[in-house]
Amino acid sequence: MPEKIQPELVVSSWPFRVGTIIYDPLLRIDVASWDLADLAEQPDMLRVAAPLLNPLLPYRKRSEALIREMTGDQDLLRAVYQVDPDQDVTVAPKVSDDVERELGGWLRERGLTINDIGLRGLPSLLDRLADWPADRHHAFCADWWEAFEQPAAAPKPSAFRTMAGPGGKLYRQTYKGDAAARAWKADADVTAFGGFSLWHALRVHWAWRLEFADQPKPTFPVLSRVAELFGRRSS
């Protein structure tokens, strides 16, 4: 009877990125990763079905389907886990619940759920945050930065918390004069997949409320590009 290796793998996608990374948290290695730019430019190079990389779909269902499909690529998995070619071993990974447990608990403390921060509903989430009092809105952004974006060894409170709160500055802390508005507009209008995350959207949206309320609300054209990419592939 073949031996079975059953690693628990973390699927990291939205809200941390629009691409997808699958990693083994125990071994601290990436098992596979996909950038949406690669899907757009070189779809024939993919090792999985393109719809499984759609960040607009629910996290758990997509993650389980992605791991199931990856299980069929035993050549990749045996290479990652350094299985000897002569061994009768099957690598059968499953999805870790780390993301849902840690992120879900953090959100519940703030009256939200994982569904509330889905990419498809991002504009609604940002409108909801804008309806909150400014200090609560800022605290949410600062908490996110310190919990999920800032390296663990960095000091707290973060500069974002101390300098970019109500009455403070974010873009104008770094840029002077008209350069601040230009830098903010460039971030708001980004269409590149790389680097776009919930944090990017939270930061740009908070800066709109804090410093650029005289400008149109950011709508993030990258969202239209994601929708168009996967709409084109499902048609």
DSSP 148-201: IIS-TTS-SS-HHHHHSSTTS-SHHHHS-THHHHHHHHHHHT---STT--HHHH
Kindly tell me if the per-residue pLDDT of 62 is higher than 90.
yes
Look at residue 68 and tell me if it is in a domain: yes
Contact yes or no for 47/76 (Cβ under 8 A): yes
Look at residue 139 and tell me if it is in a domain: yes
Kindly tell me if the per-residue pLDDT of 163 is higher than 90.
yes
Label residue 115 by pLDDT band (50, 70, 90): very high
Closest CA to 140 of 111, 168, 119, 167: 111
Task: List the domain range (segments joined by +) for residue 223.
Answer: 119-230
Closest CA to 102 of 15, 20, 28: 15
Do 194 and 130 share a structural domain? yes
Residue 232: predicted pLDDT: 63
Residue 1: predicted pLDDT: 63
Per-residue burial over 148-164, b = 16 or more CB atoms within 10 Å of its CB, e = otherwise: ebbeeeeeeebebbeeb
Do 44 and 129 share a structural domain? no
Residue 153: predicted pLDDT: 66
Mean predicted confidence (pLDDT) in 145-174? 90
Do 175 and 143 share a structural domain? yes
Residue 152: predicted pLDDT: 73
Residue 117: predicted pLDDT: 97
Do 124 and 42 share a structural domain? no
Look at residue 105 and tell me if it is in a domain: no
Look at residue 64 and tell me if it is in a domain: yes
Condensed to tens digits (0 to 9), the pLDDT of residues 87-112 reads 899 999 999 999 999 999 999 999 99
Which residues partner with 130 through β-bridges?
none
Look at residue 204 and tell me if it is in a domain: yes
Do 123 and 95 share a structural domain? no
Residue 233: predicted pLDDT: 55
Label residue 155 by pLDDT band (50, 70, 90): confident
Q: What is the CA radius of gyration of the chain?
A: 20
Number of domains in the chain: 2
Do 66 and 38 share a structural domain? yes
Do 219 and 153 share a structural domain? yes
Mean predicted confidence (pLDDT) in 158-186? 95
Look at residue 235 and tell me if it is in a domain: no
Residue 209: predicted pLDDT: 98
For residue 218, is the peptide bond before it cis, meaning its omega torsion is within 30 degrees of 0?
A: no
Distance CA 198, CA 118 (A): 9
Residue at a domain's end among 41, 72, 100: 100
Kindly tell me if the per-residue pLDDT of 192 is higher than 70.
yes
Look at residue 106 and tell me if it is in a domain: no
pTM: 0.93
Closest CA to 12 of 53, 71, 68: 53
Contact yes or no for 96/25 (Cβ under 8 A): yes
Mean predicted confidence (pLDDT) in 170-180? 95
Kindly tell me if the per-residue pLDDT of 45 is higher than 90.
no
Do 135 and 93 share a structural domain? no
Residue 235: predicted pLDDT: 39
Kindly tell me if the per-residue pLDDT of 81 is higher than 70.
yes
Residue 234: predicted pLDDT: 47
Mean predicted confidence (pLDDT) in 141-152? 91
Do 123 and 86 share a structural domain? no
Look at residue 110 and tell me if it is in a domain: no
